């Protein structure tokens, strides 16, 4: 029989909390990527990795906070720990691929399209891998049109996020971009959830035993949430991350270090020699 699915068991609490975590991860990630642009090559990879991990953790945390509110009336829902952790690894890894592509190669049309497609497909993969972690007394089905729409939203959101990461400089502009990212990521999640149907096996009047979803999800959320808080501390104590200063490049495809190199020792030496002549 078809199960009675409720994605908002706790009302607005879980979608609002999930949206805020997506915004937090997006905001931290955007500032870290901006910080990487004018930095020396030895530090660039570190800032990009921190930004990718922040965005990936934010997306993953958003998904599983939202899933705490997912409920099927006829059966208990549990989650497989290994698959759930794997979905986190996928989220961080695929976001990292896109972030490093645009971080080192800029936002030309082809580069941005490839990075956005890879990242968006990875985010969608994380979502459906997280759904595959569900264990319940029934079968999970998906409406193909809803799945396709959720994937398109994920690709569009990822492309816009990567573009804004290396284009937007100001703190308020990045904050606004992160709010839009949160809407897009949440929209992708709930579009995918709207495509879900549950066919419950015959329970003969009983219930399928198992732990509640919060018994696994809440402890697992502690790590990513704690990471986002630590990343937030890094942002708060680095003025360049908060204010977006130090980037003198006028175009996102040109590293700021190139313009700064004009003021290096060789440039100053040539100016001194010219004055002496």
CA–CA distance, 168 with 161 (Å, rounded to integer):
10
Beta-carbon count within 10 A of 94 CB: 23
Whether pTM > 0.85 for this model: the answer is no
261: in domain: no
The whole-number pLDDT of residue 276 equals 47
Q: Among 24-28, 30-34, 123-127, 156-160, whose mean pLDDT is lowest? A: 30-34
- CA 232 to chain CA centroid, nearest Å: 15
- Percent of the chain exceeding pLDDT 90 equals 15
Q: Is the pLDDT of residue 29 over 90?
A: no
251: in domain: no
Mean per-residue pLDDT over the chain, rounded = 77
162: in domain: yes
Q: Is the pLDDT of residue 191 over 90?
A: yes
274: in domain: no
260: in domain: no
Q: Is the pLDDT of residue 242 over 90?
A: no
Range of the domain at 155: 5-246
The whole-number pLDDT of residue 1 equals 73
Q: What is the mean pLDDT of residues 173-189?
A: 85
3-state secondary structure of 142: strand
Buried b (16+ CB within 10 A) or exposed e, 158-193: bbbbbbbbbbbbebeebeebbeebbebbbbbbbbbb
Q: What is the pLDDT of residues 91-144, one digit of tens each?
A: 999 999 988 988 888 778 888 889 889 988 888 989 999 899 888 888 899 999
- Contact between 34 and 165 (Cβ < 8 Å): yes
28: in domain: yes
Tally of structural domains, the chain:
1
CA–CA distance, 95 with 119 (Å, rounded to integer):
5
Quick one: tokens of 179?
């709010």
- CA 238 to chain CA centroid, nearest Å: 22
Phi, psi of 32 (to 5 degrees): -65, -40
The whole-number pLDDT of residue 51 equals 86
* Pairwise pLDDT comparison (213 vs 260), residue with the higher score: 213
30: in domain: yes
- CA 199 to chain CA centroid, nearest Å: 31
Q: What is the pLDDT of residues 44-76, one digit of tens each?
A: 888 888 888 888 888 988 998 888 888 888 888
255: in domain: no
């Amino acid at each position: 029989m078809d199960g009675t699915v409720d994605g908002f068991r706790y009302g607005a609490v879980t979608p609002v909390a999930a949206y805020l975590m997506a915004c937090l991860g997006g905001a931290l990630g955007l500032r870290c990527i901006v910080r990487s642009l004018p930095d020396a090559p030895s530090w660039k990879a570190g800032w990009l990795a921190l930004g990718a991990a922040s965005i990936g953790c934010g997306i993953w945390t958003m998904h599983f906070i939202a899933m705490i509110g997912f409920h099927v009336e006829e059966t208990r829902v549990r989650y497989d720990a290994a698959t759930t952790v794997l979905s986190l690894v996928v989220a961080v890894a695929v976001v990292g691929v896109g972030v490093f592509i645009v971080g080192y190669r800029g936002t030309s049309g082809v580069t941005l399209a490839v990075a956005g497609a890879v990242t968006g497909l990875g985010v969608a993969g994380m979502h459906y891998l997280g759904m595959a972690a569900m264990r319940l007394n029934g079968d999970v089905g998906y409406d193909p049109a809803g799945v396709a729409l959720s994937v398109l939203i994920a690709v569009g959101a990822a492309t816009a996020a990567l573009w804004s990461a290396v284009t937007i400089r100001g703190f308020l502009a990045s904050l606004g971009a992160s709010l839009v990212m949160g809407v897009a990521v949440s929209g992708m999640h709930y579009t995918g959830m709207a495509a879900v149907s549950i066919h419950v096996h015959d329970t003969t009047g009983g219930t399928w035993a198992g732990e509640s979803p919060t018994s696994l999800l809440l402890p697992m959320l502690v790590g990513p949430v704690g990471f986002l808080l630590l990343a937030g501390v890094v942002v708060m104590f680095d003025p360049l991350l908060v204010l977006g200063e130090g980037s003198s490049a006028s175009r996102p495809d040109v590293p700021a270090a190139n313009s700064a190199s004009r003021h290096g020792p060789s440039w100053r030496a040539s100016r001194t020699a010219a004055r002496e002549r």
